[in-house]
């Protein structure tokens, strides 16, 4: 009888504690919603200044991604080893960005918590980039010596890793600055402007690279024709002329493939840029301060748009089984820019709104006892949270790289010439899983 009464008393206490926690959570939510209505909106110039760092960061990424691999190959590094070197970006994102986030959360200086890390990372990127640009100059005198060439390769790999490490505090700091300096009801707009400016940073280089590849293709084709005319003029044998003609045709096909692929990537970026440009305009109309910051006035919220973007991407990837022409493939690649733009905007908008609301609540309720605040879970560590979000981005990239290698190997062993297509379809399966997970989010 005593044990039964003890169990009843214990269950009563548990229910009472659960009710108390639920009341605290309801109070917290109500204060969060009330607080968003009292926040002062930032002007458009302020938002542009706050988010313009994304354009510079994207310029760095575009240059590194487009020129890095050919540069390493030109130094004599094998393509397979070059692919391993470029795992530096996701590896550094997994390892260093959470560390940077935690350290910046704990930093106290007159320059703030994020700016010292941004400045330090920028200095590191500048030094590494300039060192890579002039790396071959002092060592290019002895082109036959093996040690100098190996030294160049080792220095290049070291500088690439140093550059990726330096990028992490810039990326984490810029995103966290937006969260900490932009009110809750404007986080979605700030995230959209970040995507727009990042698109601007990527857009000129894509246009330049597309034009450059086309010019290289045209100039090289003209040079081949001139060589054939010269050989035929000096009475070269018909066999030599036929061989050179066959070689020129093969070269033309390869260069056409590069040019068409680059053009498709160019159209993809135009679609993504246009989508990003429209987001701030649409959000400026549909998102209002106060309660609407937590519940958008439009029936179609951020998470629903993100879910549809995943589904659209999956359908596009599965459609590769039916694509047989270059025009259809180009259209397919370009259309995926829509889902790419939403994927770059939605998660940062959701996380930014939540963190900004809790940070504002934490500022207004600093009179709460520490134990009660910790029970409510209102303590905000934006740097650490953004670092964990980057881990969620970078870690799957490493897994995807390994999975792609396995798919390519399997396709080759089975005699399939469509290894790239099967990699894209595997990405479509992953997108369906992502759509299922994001469908459970609430705006």
Q: Is the pTM higher than 0.75?
A: no
Average pLDDT for the chain: 70
Which CATH number covers residue 146? 1.20.1250.20
26-43 burial, b for 16+ CB within 10 Å, e for fewer?
eebeebbbebbeebeebe
Residue 419 above 50 pLDDT?
yes
Residue 311 above 90 pLDDT?
yes
| Domain assignment present for 329 | yes
Residue 132 above 70 pLDDT?
yes
Confidence tier at 315 by pLDDT (50, 70, 90): very high
Confidence tier at 201 by pLDDT (50, 70, 90): low
Closest CA to 303 of 118, 436, 139: 436
Domain ranges, residue 298: 41-438
CA separation for the pair 85, 69 (Å, rounded): 9
* Token pair listed for 386: 């953004």
Q: What is the pLDDT of residue 376?
A: 42
Q: What is the pLDDT of residue 111?
A: 84
- The pair phi, psi for residue 435, each rounded to 5°, is -65, -40
Closest CA to 186 of 323, 47, 91: 47
Determine the average pLDDT of the residues in 379-404.
79
Contact 89, 210 (CB under 8 A): no
Determine the average pLDDT of the residues in 14-27.
53
| Domain assignment present for 389 | yes
Contact 217, 255 (CB under 8 A): yes
Q: What is the pLDDT of residue 87?
A: 80
| Domain assignment present for 410 | yes
CA separation for the pair 188, 128 (Å, rounded): 34
CA separation for the pair 267, 334 (Å, rounded): 5
| Domain assignment present for 95 | yes
pLDDT digits (tens, 9 = 90+) for 321-340: 887 777 888 888 888 888 88
Q: What is the pLDDT of residue 232?
A: 44
| Domain assignment present for 9 | no
CA separation for the pair 397, 86 (Å, rounded): 11
Sequence-separated (6 or more) residues with CB below 8 Å from residue 434? 310
Contact 200, 277 (CB under 8 A): no
Determine the average pLDDT of the residues in 243-259.
55
Determine the average pLDDT of the residues in 122-131.
91
Determine the average pLDDT of the residues in 204-216.
45
Residue 226, CA atoms < 13 Å, CB-side half-sphere: 6
Q: What is the pLDDT of residue 120?
A: 92
* Token pair listed for 25: 């959570």
Determine the average pLDDT of the residues in 286-296.
43
CA separation for the pair 430, 410 (Å, rounded): 19
Query: Among 30-34, 93-97, 155-159, 299-303, which is the least confidently predicted range?
Result: 30-34
Q: What is the pLDDT of residue 341?
A: 83
| Domain assignment present for 154 | yes
Total count of domains within the chain: 1
End-to-end, the C-alpha distance of the chain in Å comes to: 50
């Amino acid at each position: 009888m005593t044990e039964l009464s003890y169990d009843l008393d214990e269950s009563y206490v548990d229910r009472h504690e659960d009710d108390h926690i639920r009341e605290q959570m309801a109070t917290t939510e109500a204060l969060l919603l009330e607080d968003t209505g009292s926040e002062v909106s930032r002007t458009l110039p302020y938002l542009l200044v706050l988010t313009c760092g994304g354009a510079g960061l994207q310029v760095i990424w575009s240059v590194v991604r487009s020129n890095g691999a050919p540069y390493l190959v030109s130094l004599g590094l094998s393509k397979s080893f070059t692919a391993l070197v470029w795992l530096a970006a996701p590896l550094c994102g997994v390892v260093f960005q959470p560390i940077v986030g935690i350290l910046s959360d704990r930093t106290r200086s007159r320059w703030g918590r994020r700016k010292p890390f941004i400045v330090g990372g920028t200095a590191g990127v500048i030094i590494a980039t300039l060192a890579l640009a002039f790396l071959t100059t002092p060592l290019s005198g002895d082109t036959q010596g093996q040690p100098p060439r190996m030294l160049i390769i080792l220095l290049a790999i070291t500088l690439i890793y140093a550059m990726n490490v330096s990028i992490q505090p810039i990326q984490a700091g810029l995103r966290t600055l937006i969260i900490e300096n932009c009110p809750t009801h404007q986080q979605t707009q700030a995230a959209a402007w970040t995507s727009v400016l990042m698109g601007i940073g990527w857009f000129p280089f894509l246009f330049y690279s597309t034009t450059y590849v086309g010019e290289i293709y045209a100039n090289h084709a003209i040079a081949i024709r001139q060589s054939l005319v010269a050989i035929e003029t000096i009475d070269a044998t018909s066999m030599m002329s036929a061989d050179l003609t066959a070689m020129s045709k093969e070269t033309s096909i390869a260069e056409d493939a590069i040019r068409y692929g680059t053009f498709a990537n160019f159209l993809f970026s135009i679609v993504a840029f246009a989508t990003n440009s429209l987001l701030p305009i649409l959000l400026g109309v549909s998102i209002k301060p106060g309660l609407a910051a937590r519940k958008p006035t439009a029936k179609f919220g951020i998470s629903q748009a993100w879910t549809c973007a995943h589904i659209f991407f999956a359908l596009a990837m599965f459609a590769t089984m039916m694509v047989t022409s270059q025009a259809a493939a180009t259209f397919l690649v370009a259309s995926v820019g829509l889902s790419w733009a939403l994927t770059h905007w939605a998660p940062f908008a959701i996380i930014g709104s939540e963190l900004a609301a809790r940070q504002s609540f934490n500022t207004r309720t600093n009179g709460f006892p520490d134990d009660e605040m910790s029970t409510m879970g209102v303590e905000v560590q934006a740097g650490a949270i953004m670092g964990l979000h980057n881990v969620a981005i970078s870690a799957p990239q490493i897994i995807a790289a390994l999975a792609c290698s396995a798919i390519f190997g399997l396709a080759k062993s089975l005699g399939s010439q469509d290894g790239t297509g099967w990699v894209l379809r595997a990405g479509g399966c992953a997108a369906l899983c992502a759509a299922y997970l994001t469908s459970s989010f609430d705006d």
